Amino acid sequence: MSKYLSSDKNGTNEQNLSFYTSACEEDPELKSFDSSLDQRLSKLKRSLTTGGKTGNNSLNAVKSVCGFLVEVNQNLAENIIANKDLLKSEDLTSLVGLYHESSTSTLDLFNTVRNCTNKAKLSIVIIQIAIQQFGKESMDTEVGGNKKKYAETLEELNKVKAMGDPFGDEFKEKLESVRAEHLMLLEKLGELEKKLEKQQDKLKKKRKLTTIAFASVAASMLGFYVSLSFQFVMSAISIIYDRIGLCTFNYINFILYFISFNLLK
């Protein structure tokens, strides 16, 4: 995990990485967690790289990324439930709430990408109609007077032009919003780690949960942006709901929501 965080020029600060590395070195369970997370990230990267080289990355890549995010979120949810006695801490309660909001925003981004993909599909259909119309009009010899050659073809193509970029400002704004939330959450987790360093006598269990949360958020962010870098999301995200089932994600978020707003009262 550390090698991925150290290569992230924009998302992770060196001091946070230092805390994470030292925590893993001191705690065997965290070291095992880090090793498992590293294997998952490596597997995800190999899957996306292979798909990119073969050109067959649509469904398999979507499954890989969604499976990765579900596993990371599920693992964090299980750790929160196992350590719910620690969540009397206002700091940790706040982080659970922030993580829930961040996960919800990520799902909203998937919805936005799905809508954009549907617009792109509609554009493709219109272009196909225009191509068919072009073939018909190319065979038409009765052109003249009020009838202009390729008039219907141009009409269809103008529809596509009027639709504009399906992945326009809405997608870019949502993506930046999710990225900003991820970075803010990492910053909050870093601040809490510093605070826990000053309270050594109460540290062990709290620090373990915080470190797992930090790595889970970072891994989720890295996995998501690695998927974008291979440019499969725009062409394949629409099948997430049909093939993977977002109910697992919603179940995880329900757990986080339930803990932060019921168990902690």
- Max CA separation in the chain (angstroms): 92
Specify the DSSP element, H or E, that contains 75: helix 58-82
- Residue 90, pLDDT score: 77
Q: Residue-wise pLDDT tens for the chain (265 aa)?
A: 555 555 544 444 566 677 778 878 888 888 888 888 888 888 877 777 765 555 554 556 666 776 777 787 778 778 777 777 766 777 777 777 777 777 788 778 778 878 888 888 888 888 888 888 888 877 776 655 556 777 888 888 888 888 888 877 887 888 888 888 888 888 887 787 777 666 655 556 777 777 777 777 777 777 766 666 554 444 444 444 444 444 554 544 544 444 444 444 4
| Domain boundary assignment for the chain | 2-7+15-107+172-263
pTM (predicted TM-score): 0.50
- Residue 262, pLDDT score: 46
3-state secondary structure labels for all residues of 195-253 = HHHCCHHHHHHHHHHHHHHHHHHHHHHHHHHHHHHCCCHHHHHHHHHHHCCCHHHHHHH
Beta bridge partners of 144: 147
- Residues 119, 165: Cα–Cα separation, whole Å: 9
The amino acid present at 13, given as its one-letter code, is N
Residue 144 φ then ψ, to 5°: 155, 175
- Residue 211, pLDDT score: 78
- Residues 21, 26: Cα–Cα separation, whole Å: 9
Instruction: Extract the tokens encoding 212.
Output: 């797992």
- Contact (CB, 8 A) for 16 and 189: yes
C-alpha 244: how far from chain center: 14
